[in-house]
């Protein structure tokens, strides 16, 4: 995160203050950094900080724990982190160290992580509730229970009685994006737009899907970003596999290519999909289905207004897809029955979107008291209808089989409606063909 600027130090501190106001005076918050994970024997996966930890500290190092203690005289925000170690830093890179953490992260106190066993039980003492992300890191769960039990066993020890899921408090806070967060999300989206354009401009039949993946991720990296999730590049019927990730097939001349790829920039994710023809021209059937998915997205976007139920976007997309599939002959029967039987789930098995933020599938409730929650300004989500006609659908005319299409954009709810953060990226069949023709001309 551009975390260590004064602005971001203030932002993290004010997020912690809001969290504490919600936690109550007798609570304590304990939040460990994401654990490192082994990829293969003694090599690790690239490290990604836990999103809650990032949200509250901007601190990128593993082996750290944030503890928030409301009303503590010597300061409410305490960080445990690794000590400086010149020998280790020669292998793994610089460490902040507790001496520098106070100023760099605007926390009140910082201690070596090696001392947490001695210090944390004292901080837990006298607190009635612990807010903690239960179940994310089984090793840390056991440690925390051990500290509480040690306190309980101590003569006169006053141990917390309740464990609460930290997400109950923090998810709602994270759901509403501030101006500073929207700026980062927009940067992630802008980098993503450049990457999708690079894919459309450079795709050629005969290439492998991974060649396009490389073009996309090249744009991410040269802009200081990285993939927010495993990039999907599916040519032909691979586009019908929702979580396709092999990206290893050869792209054929008549294929559509479905690209679902988003950049993560300073922790914030974009999530964008486009579907384009490998040879630069949609076939009649490809265009008909692509137009229908575009229309479904427009219908969903018309519901993206403050005060509308979140679920209205999916309902609108399904209604448009169902009508269109009936008129193309891909579904049969009366519209009421098709809607009542949810017949279009055969070709559209997923939902129309999800919250977007530090996590690509971001935190936040979709329903409140059993009903779809109402949209409010500051919420950010994807709108991503699609159609996937299985290649082996024997009852479907052959001309439709194996076509997979998704169109996915990132949307912010504003006071008066919404803003499509990814609006600039070519979307309709005409726009996509024009971009591809122009790129081919320029490179001829």
By CB under 6 A, the residues from 202 to 261 that bind ligand GLY are 229, 260
What distance in Å separates the CA atoms of residue 327 and residue 325, rounded to the nearest whole number?
6
Residues designated as active site: 42, 243, 260, 271, 350, 354, 361, 384, 388, 406, 408
Q: Which does 8 bind (CB under 5 to 8 A by kind): Mn ion, ligand GLY, none?
A: none
CB of 351 to ligand GLY, least distance (A): 9
Picking from 282, 291, 317, 290, the residue whose alpha carbon sits closest to that of residue 302 is: 317
Percentages (nearest 5) of helix, strand, coil residues in the chain: 40, 20, 40
CA distance 217 to 201: 14
Q: Does the protein bind ligand GLY through residue 8 (CB under 6 A)?
A: no
Which of Mn ion, ligand GLY, none interacts with 409 (beta carbon under 5 to 8 A by kind)?
A: none
Provide the 8-state DSSP code for 114: G
Quick one: 382 or 422, whose CB is closer to Mn ion?
Answer: 382
Please classify residue 321 by burial: count the beta carbons closer than 10 Å to its beta carbon, then call 0-12 exposed, 13-18 middle and 19+ buried: buried
Q: Cβ 271 to ligand GLY, closest distance in Å?
A: 5
HEC readout, 300-347: HHCCCCCCCECCHHHHHHHHHHHHHHHHHCCCCCCHHHHHHCCHHHHC
Beta carbon of residue 48, minimum distance to ligand GLY (angstroms, whole number): 16
**Residue 362 in contact with ligand GLY, rule: CB under 6 A:** no
Task: State the binding partner of 238 from ligand GLY, Mn ion, none, CB within 5 to 8 A by kind.
Answer: none
Question: Between residues 123 and 420, which has the closer beta carbon with respect to ligand GLY?
Answer: 420
Spatial CA neighbour of 425 closest among 233, 191, 181: 191
> Least distance from C-beta 386 to ligand GLY, angstroms?
9
Task: Answer whether 167's CB lies under 8 Å from 23's CB.
Answer: no
Residue among 60 and 242 whose Cβ is closer to Mn ion: 242
User: Residue 163 binds which one of ligand GLY, Mn ion, none, with CB within 5 to 8 A depending on kind?
Assistant: none
Tell me 395's DSSP state: T
Say if CB 201 and CB 439 are below 8 A apart: yes
- Per rule CB under 6 A, is residue 410 in the interface with ligand GLY? no
Cβ partners under 8 Å of residue 96, min gap 6: 59, 61, 81, 104, 105
Nearer to ligand GLY, 215 or 260 (CB): 260
Binds 318, which of Mn ion, ligand GLY, none (CB < 5 to 8 A, cut-off by type)?
Answer: none
C-alpha 151/C-alpha 163 separation (Å) is 15
Please report how close the Cβ of residue 409 comes to ligand GLY at its closest, in angstroms.
11
Among 61, 271, 362, 433, binds ligand GLY (CB under 6 A): 271
Cross-sheet strand order for the sheet of 77-81: 109-112, 77-81, 65-68, 27-32, 129-132, 162-165
Q: Report if residue 163 touches ligand GLY, rule: CB under 6 A.
A: no
Q: Does residue 366 touch ligand GLY according to CB under 6 A? A: no
**Neighbour count for residue 291 (Cβ, 10 Å):** 16
For ligand GLY, which is the closer residue by CB, 61 or 219?
Answer: 219
> Contact 205/278 with Cβ under 8 angstroms?
yes
What are the φ and ψ backbone dihedral angles of 429, each rounded to 5 degrees? -60, -40
Residue 198: which of 261, 268, 270, 265 has the closest Cα?
A: 261
Quick one: what does residue 229 bind among ligand GLY, Mn ion, none, with the CB cut-off 5 to 8 Å set by partner type?
ligand GLY
Contacts with ligand GLY in 290-349 (CB under 6 A)? none
Residues of this chain that bind Mn ion (CB under 5 A): 260, 271, 382, 408
| Residue with smallest beta-carbon separation from ligand GLY | 260
Q: Does 384 bind ligand GLY (CB under 6 A)?
A: yes
Choosing among ligand GLY, Mn ion, none, which partner's interface includes residue 52 (Cβ < 5 to 8 Å by kind)? Answer: none
- Measured from the CB atom, is 316 or 360 closer to ligand GLY? 360
Looking at the Cβ atoms of 311 and 393, the one nearer to Mn ion is 311
Q: Does 359 bind ligand GLY (CB under 6 A)?
A: no
Binding site for ligand GLY (CB under 6 A): 229, 260, 271, 354, 360, 384, 408
């Amino acid at each position: 995160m551009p975390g260590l600027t004064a602005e971001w130090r203030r932002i993290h501190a004010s997020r912690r203050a809001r969290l504490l106001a919600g936690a109550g005076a007798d609570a304590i918050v304990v939040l460990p950094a994401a654990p490192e994970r082994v990829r293969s024997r003694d090599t690790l996966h690239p490290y990604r900080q836990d999103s809650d930890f990032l949200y509250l500290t901007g601190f990128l190092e593993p082996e750290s724990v944030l503890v928030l203690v409301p009303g503590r005289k010597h300061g409410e925000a305490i960080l445990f982190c690794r000590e400086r170690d010149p020998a280790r830093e020669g292998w793994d890179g610089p460490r902040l160290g507790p001496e520098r953490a106070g100023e760099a992260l605007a926390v009140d106190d910082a201690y070596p992580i090696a001392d947490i066993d001695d210090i944390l039980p004292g901080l837990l003492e006298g607190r009635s509730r612990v807010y903690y992300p239960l179940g994310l890191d089984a090793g840390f769960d056991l440690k925390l229970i051990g500290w509480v039990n040690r306190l309980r066993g101590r003569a006169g020890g006053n141990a917390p009685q309740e464990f609460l899921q930290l997400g109950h408090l923090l998810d709602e806070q994270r759901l509403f994006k501030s101006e500073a967060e929207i700026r980062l999300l927009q940067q992630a989206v802008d980098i993503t737009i450049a990457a999708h354009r690079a894919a459309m401009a450079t795709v050629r039949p005969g290439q492998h899907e991974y060649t396009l993946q490389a073009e996309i991720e090249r744009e991410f990296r040269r802009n200081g970003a990285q993939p927010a999730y495993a990039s999907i590049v599916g040519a032909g019927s691979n586009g019908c596999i929702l979580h396709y990730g092999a990206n290893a097939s050869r792209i054929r001349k008549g294929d559509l290519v479905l690209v679902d790829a988003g950049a993560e920039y300073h922790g914030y994710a974009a999530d964008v999909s486009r579907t384009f023809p490998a040879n630069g021209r949609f076939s009649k059937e490809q265009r008909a289905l692509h137009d229908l998915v575009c229309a479904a997205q427009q219908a969903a976007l018309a519901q993206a207004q403050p005060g509308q139920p979140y679920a209205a976007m999916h309902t609108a997309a399904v209604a448009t897809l169902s009508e269109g599939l009936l008129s193309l002959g891909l579904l049969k029967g009366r519209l009421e029955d098709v809607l009542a039987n949810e017949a279009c789930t055969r070709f559209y098995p997923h939902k129309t979107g999800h919250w977007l933020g530090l996590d690509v599938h971001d935190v936040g409730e979709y329903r409140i008291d059993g009903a779809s929650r109402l949209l409010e300004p500051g919420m950010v989500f994807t709108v991503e209808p699609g159609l996937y006609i299985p290649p082996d659908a024997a009852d479907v005319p052959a001309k439709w089989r194996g076509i997979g299409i998704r169109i996915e954009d990132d949307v912010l709810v504003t006071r008066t409606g919404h803003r499509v953060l990814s609006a600039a990226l070519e979307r309709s069949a005409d726009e996509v063909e024009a971009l591809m023709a122009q790129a081919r001309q320029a490179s001829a």
